[in-house]
Structure 1
């Protein structure tokens, strides 16, 4: 039902048209900003979240080369378009990226952050097995999923 696909010259405009609700804008950078940022961090991987042939969201991850544990991947962007929220796509997309990342060599954990007031994100991540690190970085609460203990 949900697939993750590379953002490329054929779908980047579709990606930047995706928007969060006005209330959620303070929680995540725009997709346009994220795609621009990905050009300066070439190891980052921007992905469209698709329900069949419709892009419903966006995520971007990168290998951790510093920071918390240096033994996995960091999901540093994640959003579902406002017109597609409440349909289970967020949870399905997170399960898909967890499966993708835990199959990568050397991935012992997956890290993601969220703003403390974003209770929806907190509930989603904790329901998938993420655990609080006790760290706050750039205003985000960091949670991690120990891959060796969890299979999506």
Structure 2
């Protein structure tokens, strides 16, 4: 990371192009959707999406989007309301510098401030999966699948 302190910033007209320019490594493209798709999803699901640029100094180094208070499976348990990390994209040029860890910690702090006791995340299984990254941050597997993705949870208490 630069000498400045990274922070999360809302996506605005001023940083939109830089946020959309975030690209993961080519070998990771099958694991995470492009930022522009996330922003479209944030627009469509505005009540629950929390998209943020990951900024260090004046440079956008990544993108993270949380989901806030979504009924996980209303058919099974309408009281099972969850929040967590929906998408995390760290630009290829800025990976392995701590920005992903920072983003997860910033999102979990936001969720704690909103009263959440757990944070959820999903990821694509297979080669290059971010599973070791999330497990290393304390997430644990739930045994659930969501759209073919692995589900994990982190206790925030």
TM-score w.r.t. the length of structure 1 is 0.89
Higher radius of gyration, 1 or 2: 2
2:76 alignment counterpart: none
The structure whose residues are more often helix, as a share, is 1
> Is the CA contact (8 Å cut-off) linking 1:27 and 1:118 kept in structure 2?
no
What count of residue pairs does the alignment treat as equivalent? 147
Asked whether the equivalents of residues 72 and 108 of structure 1 are also in contact (C-alpha less than 8 Å), the reply is no
Aligned Cα RMSD in Å? 1.6
Unaligned 5+ segments in structure 1 are none
Q: Which runs of 5+ in 2 are unaligned?
A: 74-78
Query: How far 1:72 moved relative to its partner?
Result: 3.8
Cα drift, residue 128 of structure 1: 1.4
For residues 27-74 of structure 1, the C-alpha deviation after alignment (integer angstroms, 9 at most, x for no partner) is: 111111111111110121110011122110001112132116734412
* Residue aligning to 2:95: 85
Question: What secondary structure, in the 3-state scheme, does the structure 2 residue paired with 1:64 have?
Answer: strand
Aligned residue runs from structure 1 range 59-70, under 5 A: 59-67=64-72, 70=80
The 3-state SS of whatever aligns with 1:26 is: coil
1:108 Cα deviation after fit: 1.5
Q: Is the 8 A contact 2:8 2:103 kept in 1?
A: yes
Query: 4+ residue runs of structure 1 moved beyond 2 angstroms?
Result: 68-72
TM-score for both structures, normalised by structure 2: 0.87
CA contact (8 A) 2:61 2:94 kept: yes
Distance 2:151 2:101 in 1: 18
After superposition, what is the alpha-carbon deviation per residue over 1:109-148, rounded to whole angstroms, capped at 9, x for unaligned? 1100111125552112111111100011112100011212
